[in-house]
Structure 1
Amino acid sequence: MGPIPLSLALDPKDTAASTAPWMKTILPTFLAGIRRKTSPHASWEYSDSPSPKSDSLSSLPTELLQSIADFLPTSSAAALTLCNRTTFLKLGSKYLTSINQATVEPYTEWYQTQDQCVRPSPAQVEREKFLEQLSRDSLEFIYCYYCKKLHHPEKTGSDRNCTRCSKSIPFEQRRPCTQLERYQVHSSHLHGDFNHSRVQNLMKHYRHGRDYSNLLKPLNKTWTSYRDGFTFQQSVQCRVRNGRFMVRTQHWLLFAWANGPDVQLPDHYNLGLCPHLTSTGYTKYPGRLDRLLLCRATHPHCCECGVCCGVKACKDCPTEFQIDTKLLPEEDKMALVITTWRDFGKAQSPFEPEWEHQTHEMLNKVHPCPRFYLGEIKASYERFDFDAHQTPSMIRALQIKKAYSPTIYEPG
């Protein structure tokens, strides 16, 4: 992919007319979607008639306003130019032209952290800051740190293959943010609709005091899978706590159980708590999670085991988990219930330490895991009571007599 000029900073796929000059089409289209901070329901008007509120700016000498802008960083001066028609006429296109001269390459090196990439020039840094400032007041667009553009957050997932509409986009023609999703592991331990673009937009609304409940609903999901020998159910619930995006995931693994020391876990299930803690069933080479699950299954009535009971933590990312059991004696079955609490940080950028460590296991060899006290993440999310989270609908879904069926999704 070639360099991206500022004229294409707003993704052409999100505009009605992308072939016309950007100052006449793209910029007004973007400004039309911006709301004033003082009045969230009022929209910007890009017209030729000055507003009565701009009389004080009109009386300000042009030389004085230009001197003020010269003391500002280029990104702030360019943003000041776009405040209203008066400032645009007085300051001209000097700072916008300066921003436009800086071009950047999309971020596609999924295996590298931001510190490992080529450091951007000062002009490129100012360009990124300018686009970040434009995205703050927009209800429709975010600044994508992978594409280096402004685009709708839903566009990140729209380029993936869609089996329901028989739509297939070649991998090399997808957006950089969509390409990077292929190498990230959110879908293996959360779900396919979870990505940074959606979380970034949600957290932006939260920081500006806007209602983000509708943005939170698509991220909360519950689904049940029926397989030969076991039933698997996963529930994902997201919350914002103290300015941080946090996720609680609960995994239910129901299988036949006979009381005794020779307990075996089912085969061929896929259980992922985070990029570093996974279990796929019975194996000759068990990992840490396999050993904990097997230990808990051998003594489901004991809650004082120092090995498998209580809150545990991942050594490589801000994730805490707890293993509980639920016995169904009438069916001679037992459910291993693994609850995880994960901290994704402020989610302003995908290059924050918390988000990077939750994304791919290879990145943890570069930077150490952010420090946290054991039980801190769980306590920040909620006061957890295992029995209170067992709803009748969840138990009924687990007890359905099916040997195999496609995954059934339920409202989160």
Structure 2
Amino acid sequence: MANIAPKPSGFRSKFGFGRNKDAAPHGKLRKKNAAQAEFDVNSIHSRDTARSDGKLLLYPQDVRRSGSVTTTLSKLSTDFTPWRNSSEGRSQSVISKNGPRKLKKASHQAPARSELDKDTGEHKDLTDMMHAFGFSENADDTVEYVHVEEWSYDTLQPDGATLLSKICPELWGLIGDYLTPLDIAHLASTCHAMHNRLGKVAYELLRHPTHLPHRIEFLLSMDKKLPTHLFCFPCAKWHVRTTPGLEKLKPPNILNPVYNCPNSTNVLMPPPRLRISDYRWLPFTFIQLYKRAWEHGPDYGINVHSLARRFKDVESGWSHETMFHIHPANGHVLMRVKSQVFVEGGLQPAAKRMLLFTRSDYTPYFSVCAHWRKGLLTSIPKCALDHIPTPEENVYRATFNKMRHTKFAGPTALCTNCQPMRRCVECPTEYLIELKLVEDKTVQKMGPERFRQVLLVTRWSDLGPARSPRDPEWASVIGEGDGYNSFQEIGKRAVSGIFESAFTDTTPRARILSLNPAGLEADEDHGDWY
């Protein structure tokens, strides 16, 4: 500490001078050129004697005098290393101002407006999201623009209605003989001239009972013009909605009129509906409301969440979950129904029937289409139940295992007969039967016995465009349509894949086989369906 010069202070330190005469040179401060900045090595040695480690000692006044000879020397002498005589006991020394400072990694600081991920707790990087805004799938596609001539009404040209009125009514009658009642009704609705000639005849044809399908199609064309109305198919009329936008799906034992219809309690004219499970039905009116809201707007129907339900049958123990989705490509309404029940291994044939079928009409508890008796639909769950491990039959071994800790029941593998997905040939419906481990919340003890085997039956159905009950998809699912082949109509992509891809990234990994490979017919007295 004695060799270090004291820190200068006062008026002289401002100009780079020391406290005494020996500390700083005399004379005026002036800029020196390069010739005057040359130094001898001996002068460096004389300055170097002040430090024992061989490094150049820079006085404080020299450091403050920027542009002086000493400052220039301190910059140049950093890389200068003089060689000294070893006999004099001097070693090699390095002339340096200060040692190099270690590089430190800059601490990462999150942006001021960064957001934390709720799942991982990390800061979100919004770069990918910002780049995704400018991405367009059709950016590289060549779009051919076709100039379409807009039709404008020319007042100088003769009116079209006037031209049509010049044709005699007898000729229009002959033309109407080649048209259907639906085409005649549309032609009569074009203008007043055609209405005066064909209106009475067209409407009389639509009122005839044999032309009921044409009447329904003609009235359904006014769907977009009537947001507060809903079409009644038993009456073939438009009724005013009683609670627009507040319609809710209720159990079948509760009267739930969506509109005031005189045939709402007429059992001879039931409204079109679809069976979901035992004592659970889906009216076509709610499918129609859901499709209208998706196609025209929320004022025309209800939200999709108004149709999703979860319910449980207390008597049978089956629980069901329904969900709906509209395929944006073709506008078809897709339905998924999940039915599950807790099962045990080693069931006898009679116990399997009691588990799967109702006692009232001997239909399955889970959701099925109208062709469930044709094929292997009821025999596949029985095959899956046989794969569940049975308890110990030996009394001694069962008693010994009971004293030990209960082992955790693992997943059960299925065979090649009950593992694949099955598709009904006569309607767009697919089934998947699985065995899974599900927590039974009725068991109070927290242990391995709280997890039990569950028989899960999942059904996917395509209900069609939801325009009319006469749609091929809806009619085939409820068993009223003929000639529908699901493998030809659906194609390679499955209904289950379309539905699951809309909500998750995974689809059922199972191959699709025919539900009725042998082409069996429904017979209540024969077959393996029961």
Quote the offset at 1:78 in angstroms. 4.2
Aligned counterpart, 1:186: 275
Which residues of 2 match residues 273-288 of structure 1 at below 5 A? 273-277=368-372, 288=376
Quote the offset at 1:132 in angstroms. 2.6
Letter in 2 for 1:97: K
Q: Which has the higher contact order (CA 8 A, sep 6+)?
A: 1
Determine which structure has the larger helix proportion and give its number. Answer: 1
Aligned counterpart, 2:496: 378
Aligned counterpart, 2:204: 101
Quote the offset at 1:98 in angstroms. 3.5
Tell me if the contact between 1:234 and 1:251 (Cα under 8 Å) persists in the aligned partners. yes
Which residues of 2 match residues 116-155 of structure 1 at below 5 A? 120=211, 127-152=215-240
Quote the offset at 1:339 in angstroms. 0.9
Closer, same or farther: CA 373–103 of 1 in aligned 2, 3 Å: closer
Quote the offset at 1:378 in angstroms. 0.7
Aligned counterpart, 1:369: 485
Closer, same or farther: CA 338–313 of 1 in aligned 2, 3 Å: same
Structure 1, residues 93-138: CA drift from partner, whole Å, max 9, x if none?
Answer: 55543433235356xxxxxxxxxxx5x3xxx776555423223321
Find the residue that maps to 1:102 and give its secondary structure: helix
Instruction: Provide the rounded CA distance (Å) in 2 between the counterparts of 1:384 and 1:92.
Output: 47
Structure 1, residues 279-299: CA drift from partner, whole Å, max 9, x if none?
Answer: xxxxxxx98333211221232
Find the residue that maps to 1:226 and give its secondary structure: coil
Corresponding position: 1:63 with 2:166: no
Instruction: Provide the rounded CA distance (Å) in 2 between the counterparts of 1:379 and 1:388.
Output: 9
Instruction: Provide the rounded CA distance (Å) in 2 between the counterparts of 1:61 and 1:77.
Output: 14
Instruction: Provide the rounded CA distance (Å) in 1 between the counterparts of 2:473 and 2:256.
Output: 36
Find the residue that maps to 2:314 and give its secondary structure: strand
Instruction: Provide the rounded CA distance (Å) in 2 between the counterparts of 1:102 and 1:293.
Output: 52
Tell me if the contact between 1:79 and 1:134 (Cα under 8 Å) persists in the aligned partners. no
2:290 aligned to which of 202, 206, 217: 202
Instruction: Provide the rounded CA distance (Å) in 2 between the counterparts of 1:302 and 1:234.
Output: 22
Closer, same or farther: CA 76–221 of 1 in aligned 2, 3 Å: same
* Number of matched pairs: 294
* TM-score when normalising by structure 1: 0.56
Corresponding position: 1:310 with 2:448: no
Find the residue that maps to 1:200 and give its secondary structure: helix
Closer, same or farther: CA 202–244 of 1 in aligned 2, 3 Å: same
Tell me if the contact between 1:104 and 1:148 (Cα under 8 Å) persists in the aligned partners. no
Find the residue that maps to 1:271 and give its secondary structure: coil
Closer, same or farther: CA 187–98 of 1 in aligned 2, 3 Å: same
Tell me if the contact between 2:234 and 2:271 (Cα under 8 Å) persists in the aligned partners. no
Closer, same or farther: CA 184–77 of 1 in aligned 2, 3 Å: closer
Which residues of 2 match residues 8-407 of structure 1 at below 5 A? 63-64=162-163, 66=165, 73-81=183-191, 94-104=197-207, 120=211, 127-152=215-240, 174=263, 179-181=268-270, 185-186=274-275, 188=277, 191-192=280-281, 194-208=282-296, 214-227=302-315, 231-241=317-327, 242=329, 243-255=331-343, 257-258=344-345, 260=346, 264-265=351-352, 266-267=354-355, 269=358, 270-277=365-372, 288-299=376-387, 301-327=411-437, 328=439, 329-331=448-450, 333-360=452-479, 363=480, 366-371=482-487, 372-373=490-491, 376-383=494-501
Letter in 2 for 1:251: S
Q: Name the larger-Rg structure.
A: 2
Quote the offset at 1:202 in angstroms. 3.2
Closer, same or farther: CA 98–349 of 1 in aligned 2, 3 Å: same
Identical counterparts, % of pairs: 19
Structure 1, residues 310-347: CA drift from partner, whole Å, max 9, x if none?
Answer: 31112332100111222244247321111111011122
Unaligned 5+ residue runs, structure 1? Answer: 1-53, 82-87, 107-117, 279-285, 390-412
Tell me if the contact between 2:290 and 2:304 (Cα under 8 Å) persists in the aligned partners. yes
* TM-score when normalising by structure 2: 0.45
Find the residue that maps to 1:378 and give its secondary structure: helix
Letter in 1 for 2:496: K
Closer, same or farther: CA 214–374 of 1 in aligned 2, 3 Å: same
Letter in 2 for 1:174: N
Closer, same or farther: CA 388–380 of 1 in aligned 2, 3 Å: closer
Closer, same or farther: CA 205–380 of 1 in aligned 2, 3 Å: same
Find the residue that maps to 2:467 and give its secondary structure: coil
Determine which structure has the larger strand proportion and give its number. Answer: 1
Tell me if the contact between 1:234 and 1:249 (Cα under 8 Å) persists in the aligned partners. yes
Closer, same or farther: CA 388–74 of 1 in aligned 2, 3 Å: closer
Quote the offset at 1:240 in angstroms. 0.5
Quote the offset at 1:162 in angstroms. 8.3
Unaligned 5+ residue runs, structure 2? Answer: 1-152, 177-182, 359-364, 389-410, 440-447, 508-530
Closer, same or farther: CA 311–56 of 1 in aligned 2, 3 Å: farther
Find the residue that maps to 1:99 and give its secondary structure: helix
